[in-house]
Amino acid sequence: MELIVKKFGGSCLADQAAMKNAARIVSETCKSGAKVIAVVSAQGNTTDLLIRRAAALSDTPSDRELDVIMSAGEQLSAALLSIAVNEAGASAISLLGWQAGIATNGKFGSARIQNIDLKRIKTELQTHDAVVVAGFQGVDRFGNMTTLGRGGSDTTAVAVAAAFGASRCEIYSRIDGIYTADPAVVPEAVKLKEIDYGAMQELAFLGVKVLNPRAVELAQKYGVVLEVRSAFSDSAGTIIRENAKMEKMLISGVTKKSETALIRISGLEDSAAAFHMFGLLASAYINVDIILQSAVTQGNGEIAFTVEKENADDAVRLIRESGICPENALFCDKNVSKVSVVGVGMESHHGVAKAIFEALSKEKINVRLISSSELRFSVVVQKEDADRTVRAIHRVFINV
Amino acid sequence: MELIVKKFGGSCLADQAAMKNAARIVSETCKSGAKVIAVVSAQGNTTDLLIRRAAALSDTPSDRELDVIMSAGEQLSAALLSIAVNEAGASAISLLGWQAGIATNGKFGSARIQNIDLKRIKTELQTHDAVVVAGFQGVDRFGNMTTLGRGGSDTTAVAVAAAFGASRCEIYSRIDGIYTADPAVVPEAVKLKEIDYGAMQELAFLGVKVLNPRAVELAQKYGVVLEVRSAFSDSAGTIIRENAKMEKMLISGVTKKSETALIRISGLEDSAAAFHMFGLLASAYINVDIILQSAVTQGNGEIAFTVEKENADDAVRLIRESGICPENALFCDKNVSKVSVVGVGMESHHGVAKAIFEALSKEKINVRLISSSELRFSVVVQKEDADRTVRAIHRVFINV
């Protein structure tokens, strides 16, 4: 019998009406003769509300206890969706992470799935049409609850689909597919029928929030075909798979990421100092993107890079404490956005950089930092210029 | 090292201030050199709110899924209290029912604890000052989450105290002890220093909500000394133990229970019919209290009894379907209260009934039903007469 994994994001479960709609989607698939594993996120902004309650009690709540608190969100939506599916005429049962055999390492707050013991889900699928699995959560080898970090339900869904060799993993949200740019910013943006794993991963990493990049990586590794689609519309979504047909389009999309901070350091002693600094940031789990380093000669090296905005203060503190540069040679600008074009073969198309620069200079947009790779081309601009930058770059590529 | 079990009711954890107060109580005990197992209820009215969300999706939500939903309440308060205790300077860790080894049978919604595996709690107590256990919940042998029914956290606390041979089990709520009557109804009510298990069980069964009767039964069985006390005052509470000193007082208290319905049946064929009917009610888990049966002769037997108000409609339906009496011979009155006097040796004191009747007749209170046993004397009155009845009876005994 066919087995389909359906992941429902928080917006698809936010209230009673949304919950019933998700239940209808599950039960209709069941009635068509397939078994369904539904993986759910917490309802709406539940996770944020829960974290706030812990933060009210302590500035430094334990990560372990935070995971106990946060996982209650998916626990509730799993049981509620299960009730709604039963009401919609298919039989369902909920399983929490520890019940569904989702074994993770013990890194609370950002645990990694190490193994899925399929026994319990298989048993329940023999007597039920659907199993509703609480996403985002697992259990470590000591029996502690863990969570997988933001977007972790996507990872749960893909991991379960991979473990079962499911024919499809459908990712439901309010958004009906992957567009060449955010339609709210670029009205002429086009929905993609298909996209490659690699390009999707870059888009997710660079600001397209509909899918977690780690989940895309996992899907690629195990060959799970994904479909991003809306829970509130019947229109076909975007398929994510290997060797997607891109319909003559060079690029997959233009994205904007505003949760970015630009850090610039001057007066560096030597390259070793920079190397030391990136080591420090890495061991604090701070990801660094777009690095631009000028030639370092004795005492006047300069380096600039971007980090996630939420990590900016930690990064600045670490660099300051390390003493690798004078106090007054460290700058951090949180008022920037990173705008990126994602596509295959960006570097080999010499025209790309030229076309982008022409477009941005015509718009009088000041570019702070540039980087390009095989799959993407990014510029860092002032935040207030970001939407104009997206539109200008989108015009260059989509009208070609 | 001394081990004390402290149970915190929902009102002791309802908001941030209450949570910090409970954390202070735990940490102060830890600092005095004892280890603490804190057992927690859900915050405030969380359980009701959670049930309502399930009820919005289905009129007949599965009991199993309801237990998954409800247990999220204690899950949150356990992790939050653990965070607050750490903040208050003692080290704590939370454990959910399944983590704490609370094994129950599979009767969702009203499961019974069958066994407690102490391993995990013991391990955590070696490295922490306090373990915070989510009350009210357990796990069945298939790994499903279960809940113990209303007041189930009391049962968890007593069961854990019994399993550990803890020297004390303190039950914290807003109420600072057991009174001879509700002080809101009877201003001259007196707080008891001590009370026997049996009398406490009767009081709990008859309307004193501060303690679950099943928990008192369990405490008696395993000789766990209980103390009912307030989380918001330092005054001594009421100790519940075997052979409590009752200080010359005949009675332990006067209680009122308004969640009561009176059912009356006339025109019964014979005693066998009544016997059959009580069998039906028992197999539907409907508890019957105070039964008054007139002599049954052919076709004119009459019987009256009380049930919990929430079971009244089910009871009436069952009796009607059984056809043991004519349709028009079945009456149900939900507008009644049961007022009871609890004490040792009620039946052997012939003066008791006489004194009560004199007091009630002076107040012109119409008594619908009477019953007495070794431990209590109850009358059923119209609900609007209930508080006057409590006051009148309390005057009889406390002023003696």
Query: How far is the CA of A225 from the CAs of A170, A171, A197, A210, A241, in angstroms?
Result: 9, 11, 9, 16, 5
Asked if residue B182 has pLDDT above 60, the reply is yes
Question: What local confidence, expressed as pLDDT, does residue B299 receive?
Answer: 61
Task: Please check whether the two domains, B3-174 and B254-398, share a CATH topology.
Answer: no
> Can you read off the two tokens belonging to residue B109?
């919604």
pLDDT bin (cut points 50, 70, 90) of residue A299 is: low
* pLDDT tens-place string over residues B77-125: 999 999 999 999 999 999 999 999 999 999 999 999 999 999 999 999 9
Collect all residues with Cβ–Cβ distance below 8 Å to B264 and sequence separation of at least 6: B302, B303, B304, B330, B331, B332, B333
**How many helices (H) and strands (E) are present in chain A, helices listed first?**
11, 18
Question: What local confidence, expressed as pLDDT, does residue A8 receive?
Answer: 98
**Could you tell me which of B263, B214, B267, B257 has the C-alpha nearest to residue B387?**
B257
Find which of A47, A52, A80 to mutate to test the B interface (most B CBs within 10 Å of its CB): A80
Q: Which residues of B touch A56 (CB under 8 A)?
A: 16
Asked if residue A255 has pLDDT above 80, the reply is yes
* pLDDT tens-place string over residues A117-133: 999 999 999 999 999 99
Question: What local confidence, expressed as pLDDT, does residue B217 receive?
Answer: 93
Task: Please tell me which residue of chain A has the smallest CA distance to B58.
Answer: A87
**Degrees, nearest 5: CA angle B8-B128-B90:** 65
Q: Do B16 and A76 touch (CB under 8 A)?
A: no
Give the fold, CATH level 3, of B254-398: VC0802-like (3.30.2130)
Question: What local confidence, expressed as pLDDT, does residue A345 receive?
Answer: 64
Q: Do B64 and A93 touch (CB under 8 A)?
A: yes
* pLDDT tens-place string over residues B339-378: 998 886 666 666 777 888 888 999 999 888 888 777 888 8
Question: What local confidence, expressed as pLDDT, does residue A268 receive?
Answer: 75
Find which of B62, B63, B87, B126 to mutate to test the A interface (most A CBs within 10 Å of its CB): B62
Q: Which amino acid is at B193?
A: K
So where are chain A's domains?
3-174, 254-398
Greater pLDDT, A280 or B274: A280
Average pLDDT of the segment spanning B49-61? 95
Task: Please tell me which residue of chain B has the smallest CA distance to A61.
Answer: B83
pLDDT bin (cut points 50, 70, 90) of residue A285 is: confident
CA distance B142 to chain A (A): 9
Average pLDDT of the segment spanning B212-231? 94
> Can you read off the two tokens belonging to residue B308?
């919990």
**Degrees, nearest 5: CA angle B86-B90-B94:** 55
Q: Which residues of B touch A93 (CB under 8 A)?
A: 64-65
Q: How many Å apart are CA A305 and CA A316, to the nearest integer? A: 12
DSSP state, residue B179: B
Q: How many Å apart are CA A105 and CA A100, to the nearest integer? A: 16
Q: Do B50 and A16 touch (CB under 8 A)?
A: no
Question: What local confidence, expressed as pLDDT, does residue A30 receive?
Answer: 97
3-state SS assignment for residue B263: strand
3-state SS assignment for residue B94: strand
Q: Do A58 and B84 touch (CB under 8 A)?
A: yes
Nearest by CB to B57, from A16, A72, A94: name it: A16
> Can you read off the two tokens belonging to residue A386?
């970001």
Q: Which residues of A touch B69 (CB under 8 A)?
A: 75-76, 79-80
CA distance A22 to chain B (A): 12
CA distance B120 to chain A (A): 9
Q: Do A66 and B79 touch (CB under 8 A)?
A: yes
Nearest by CB to A68, from B20, B61, B75: name it: B75
3-state SS assignment for residue A269: coil
Listed range (A186-200, A314-328, B381-395) with the worst mean pLDDT: A314-328
Q: Do A72 and B76 touch (CB under 8 A)?
A: yes
Nearest by CB to A80, from B53, B75, B76: name it: B53
Asked if residue A181 has pLDDT above 60, the reply is yes
Asked if residue B238 has pLDDT above 60, the reply is yes
Greater pLDDT, A285 or A255: A255
pLDDT bin (cut points 50, 70, 90) of residue B265 is: confident
Q: Which residues of A touch B94 (CB under 8 A)?
A: 65, 68
Listed range (A103-107, A172-176, B313-317, B393-397) with the worst mean pLDDT: B393-397
Phi-psi region of A151 (alpha: psi -120 to 50; beta: other; left: phi over 0): left
CA distance B52 to chain A (A): 11
Q: What percent of chain A has pLDDT over 90?
A: 66
- Which residue do the tokens 């004795």 mark? A298
Contact B324, B373 (CB under 8 A): no
Average pLDDT of the segment spanning A209-226? 92
Contact B319, B307 (CB under 8 A): no
pLDDT bin (cut points 50, 70, 90) of residue A400 is: very low
Give the fold, CATH level 3, of A3-174: Carbamate kinase (3.40.1160)
**What is the model's pTM?**
0.85
Mark out chain B residues that contact chain A at CB-CB < 8 A.
16, 19-20, 50, 53-54, 56-58, 61-62, 64-66, 68-69, 71-72, 75-76, 78-80, 82-84, 86-87, 93-94, 96, 98-99, 120, 143-145
The b-or-e profile of B321-337 (16+ CB within 10 A means b, else e) is eeebbeeeebebbeebb
Q: Is the torsion defined by CA of B161, B150, B258, B293 positive or negative?
A: negative
Average pLDDT of the segment spanning A88-104? 98
Asked if residue A267 has pLDDT above 90, the reply is no
Query: How far is the CA of A108 from the CAs of A68, A140, A344, in angstroms?
Result: 10, 9, 36
DSSP B137-177: EEE-TTS-EEE--TTHHHHHHHHHHHHHT-SEEEEEES--S
Please report the number of interchain residue pairs, chain A to chain B, with beta-carbon separation below 8 angstroms. 97
Query: How far is the CA of B114 from the CAs of A334, B30, B171, B224, B325, in angstroms?
Result: 57, 29, 22, 18, 41
Nearest by CB to A58, from B53, B87, B145: name it: B87
**Could you tell me which of B216, B185, B199, B176 has the C-alpha nearest to residue B337?**
B185
Q: Do B120 and A98 touch (CB under 8 A)?
A: no
DSSP state, residue A167: S
Listed range (A82-86, A302-306, B84-88) with the worst mean pLDDT: A302-306
Asked if residue B400 has pLDDT above 50, the reply is no
Rg (CA), chain B: 23
Q: Which residues of B touch A57 (CB under 8 A)?
A: 16, 19-20, 80, 83-84, 87
Q: How many Å apart are CA A237 and CA A233, to the nearest integer? A: 10
Q: How many Å apart are CA A309 and CA A337, to the nearest integer? A: 10
Q: Do B79 and A86 touch (CB under 8 A)?
A: no
DSSP A68-85: HHHHHHHHHHHHHHHHHH
Q: Do A16 and B56 touch (CB under 8 A)?
A: yes
CA distance B85 to chain A (A): 10
Mean of pLDDT over chain B: 90
Q: Do A57 and B98 touch (CB under 8 A)?
A: no
CA distance A72 to chain B (A): 6
Q: Tell me, what's the ipTM?
A: 0.83
Task: Please tell me which residue of chain A has the smallest CA distance to B143.
Answer: A99
